[in-house]
Structure 1
Amino acid sequence: MLHSPRVVRWLVLIVLSLVAVSLLESIHLPAALLLGPMFIAILFAVTKQMVSLNRTLFRAAQAVVGAMIARAMPIEVFKEMQHTWPIFIMTVFSVIAVSTLLGAVLAKCKVLPGTTALWGSSPGGATAMTLMAGNFGADVRLVAFMQYLRVLLVTLLATVVSHYLAPESAATSAITQLEQPIAWGAFIITLAIILFALILSRFIALPAAPLLLSMIMSNLAMNVGGLQIELPLPLLAMAYAMIGWSIGSRFTKDILRYAFHTLPATLLSVILLMAICCLFAWMLVEYAGIDPLSAYLATSPGGADSVAIIASSVSVNQPFVMSMQTGRFIAVLCLGPALSRLIARWLH
């Protein structure tokens, strides 16, 4: 296969990625569209059979993900932030403080390099955190390992919790979304926004610029301009595949060996973070009168994208859940670089 034509290698990569996505979808894993291609790319990389990825396509994939994140931030989310601001501030910054502390401990104990431990522990959207981490000196491969390990564990627990607290609801598989009709007018406008953000990102020095600019512009178009952000599943699948392949292609046997060597400590930190977030959820139930499932999903450290998928398929207070998740995501985007530099100075 190493000596086969490039097009054949690409076809094998695509087919195996589709098989991996189908397998992960069969267990209702929200991050399947990204994790499947990433796992196959890792397999290709460690066997030294990886194909080269076009940088422009990767940046375009970032812009698509930015629009996807913006779509999960309707105006109701920001109204909910304003309505519940004391609870919002307490919950959001408590989770960030705990995750930062755990990252600092991992770095101080030299389990992982400083900025890598911090970005890997950050409770924002896993894809966004992984994309931004590389701009601040972190090892993207280890950040991806930490982030998606947490996504996997949090998603499995969230699925179980949702099953028992809302047994009448069923999670919607991404594959079934193919049956939904496409609003072509809104889709063309969304593509125009993504393209403009991609072009503009070449002239603005921002970490993960395509993602951030697309997210901001799409959110303004939706909440100020009243436009619909239309992202058909095939487009999202291609974007996630590009990002998954890009991350997976950077793995080597040595980095995999190192990642598994750190697994016990990383797993312990993830479980500890999840347990503390469950404690925060219990406090919301006891002292703020929030229903248990909404409280759990609101404090869950799995990332806004994964939680949005679960919250859309069960009976919860979606504006409350997404206001907490979105607020934490925005806070991590704003505070992440400063915290990264602070931890780096502290370690030295």
Structure 2
Amino acid sequence: MRWVLLVLATVGVTVPLDRLGVPSAALFAALLVGIVLAITRLAPARIPRFAGLAAQGALGVYIGTMVHPDALSALGPHWPVVVGVGVATLLLSIGAGALLGLHRDISPLTGALALVAGGASGLVAIARELGGDDRVVAVVQYLRVAVITATMPVVVTLVYHAERSSHAAAAAPQSHVAPWYLSLLMIVVLVFAGSVVGRLARLPGSGLLGPMALTIIAELSGWSFGLAVPALLVSVSYMLIGWQAGVAFTRESLRAIQRLLPAALGLIVLLNIATAGLGVALSKIAGVSMLDGYLATSPGGIYAVLATAVETDSNVTFIVATQVLRVLLMLFAAPLLARGFVRLTYRRASTEASSDPTAVADARPAARTSS
């Protein structure tokens, strides 16, 4: 009955949010419903691990299908500048995350993952595996996407004086889309093979990054055969990821996150302003408009960015290619960043313990007792 309640309530919240155009509506609904049911002790104890890994893999394939050779070729000779802007965005995110990590309620690693500007759903999916608190990462990442998505129309109108196009613009339809059963078969193969390859390569977050890497290779090599992830599967994956974080909430953790939100909101605003400055630099160097530079470097809400670009007759292919590169950079860099945080913390702990004779002396009797 707990599972039935969780599923029905999540679907009931997802449908209206999706109609309102809320980004990643299923993930937000699952997170919200999971929190409410967990606080009222009506949620399942936990989400099965295999279900979480399957959701990571499906999401990795979905993100991988965003990479198209024709879109990336739109960057032309400006791709080093775009990569440099992505690296600068990553460094700004790390700096903001380090400041957030000074808060007494979270660790520096959790703060860094919470403010990495790209791939919010993917980061939430692997946050626990990387050693962070996925509850904090989920709330702050979704707050980041929500703030940027909500402020984008205001900024575009008031700052860049953009107007909606008088003619309807639409993205070019995909030339070939595989039948749903073939897509499902390919997804299963990519998820299984990607997870195995990721583990053999000792890739952190292998459940997400392994399938995503194989999908990108298939897309760029022309061997994807029109692979398309069904919308229902994407929504179910979002729900599983949201539930995984939501049902783990307690009243104490909710109070801690409430204390954290003002600082997180302030850092999100500062990050948005800083990346807008990078957009100005990108527009000057790449020779695109100021609006194109802003949309290309917006640190979140890739679907809202795409919709705004289409409505304002912006350079859609350039903006999409830049955004996809940013998301891929963030998702691949975040696990390496997490591994670096863990190693640094371990070295500091070892150094402090070895330099404290009292701590060493206290540890020896405890070791004898436990043996």
Task: Find the residue that maps to 2:227 and give its secondary structure.
Answer: coil
Q: Percent identity?
A: 27
Matches for 1:18-57 after TM superposition, within 5 Å: 18-51=11-44, 52-57=46-51
Structure 1 residue 271 displacement after superposition: 0.6
Change (3 A) 1:304 1:67: farther
Q: Deviations over 1:132-174 (max 9, x none)?
A: 22222111111111111101101112244457624248999xx
Q: Can you give the 5+ residue segments of structure 2 that lack an aligned partner in the other structure?
A: 349-371
| Alignment-mate amino acid for residue 12 of structure 1 | L
Q: Report the more deviating stretch, 23-32 or 338-347.
A: 338-347
- The question of 1:215 aligning with 2:212 is answered yes
Structure 1 residue 120 displacement after superposition: 0.8
Q: Deviations over 1:50-77 (max 9, x none)?
A: 1243332322222221121112111123
Q: Is the 8 A contact 1:161 1:293 kept in 2?
A: no
- The question of 1:198 aligning with 2:191 is answered yes
Q: Report the more deviating stretch, 261-270 or 229-238.
A: 229-238
> Taking structure 1 as the reference length, what is the TM-score of the superposition?
0.84
Counting matched residue pairs gives: 333
Task: Find the residue that maps to 2:112 and give its secondary structure.
Answer: helix
Matches for 1:206-285 after TM superposition, within 5 Å: 206-224=203-221, 225=223, 227-285=225-283
Structure 1 residue 286 displacement after superposition: 4.3
Q: Deviations over 1:216-274 (max 9, x none)?
A: 22223333115212223222222211211112111111111000101111111101001
Structure 1 residue 193 displacement after superposition: 2.4
Structure 1 residue 81 displacement after superposition: 4.3
Q: Can you give the 5+ residue segments of structure 1 that lack an aligned partner in the other structure?
A: 1-5, 173-179
Alignment partners' CA distance in 1, 2:295 and 2:313: 11
Q: Is the 8 A contact 1:146 1:266 kept in 2?
A: yes
- The question of 1:324 aligning with 2:322 is answered yes
> Taking structure 2 as the reference length, what is the TM-score of the superposition?
0.79
Alignment partners' CA distance in 2, 1:340 and 1:256: 24
Aligned to 2:134: 140
| Alignment-mate amino acid for residue 129 of structure 1 | L
Change (3 A) 1:70 1:184: closer
Q: Report the more deviating stretch, 190-199 or 252-261.
A: 190-199
Work out which of the residue numbers 69, 72, 78 in structure 2 matches 1:75: 69
Aligned to 2:364: none
Work out which of the residue numbers 118, 126, 131 in structure 2 matches 1:124: 118
Change (3 A) 1:208 1:330: same
| Alignment-mate amino acid for residue 64 of structure 1 | A
Aligned to 2:82: 88
Structure 1 residue 325 displacement after superposition: 2.0
Change (3 A) 1:308 1:210: farther
Q: Is the 8 A contact 2:198 2:207 kept in 1?
A: no
Change (3 A) 1:82 1:212: farther
Q: Report the more deviating stretch, 202-211 or 31-40.
A: 202-211
Change (3 A) 1:210 1:85: same
Structure 1 residue 92 displacement after superposition: 1.0
Structure 1 residue 90 displacement after superposition: 2.7
Q: Is the 8 A contact 2:178 2:226 kept in 1?
A: no
Work out which of the residue numbers 119, 143, 146 in structure 2 matches 1:149: 143
Q: Report the more deviating stretch, 309-318 or 162-171.
A: 162-171
Task: Find the residue that maps to 2:101 and give its secondary structure.
Answer: helix
Change (3 A) 1:338 1:220: closer
Change (3 A) 1:212 1:188: farther
Q: Is the 8 A contact 1:75 1:223 kept in 2?
A: yes
Q: Report the more deviating stretch, 56-65 or 143-152.
A: 56-65
Task: Find the residue that maps to 2:117 and give its secondary structure.
Answer: coil
Alignment partners' CA distance in 1, 2:308 and 2:56: 22
Task: Find the residue that maps to 1:17 and give its secondary structure.
Answer: helix
Aligned to 1:3: none
Alignment partners' CA distance in 2, 1:299 and 1:13: 37
Aligned to 1:15: 8
Q: Is the 8 A contact 1:28 1:171 kept in 2?
A: no
Structure 1 residue 308 displacement after superposition: 4.9
Q: Report the more deviating stretch, 129-138 or 259-268.
A: 129-138
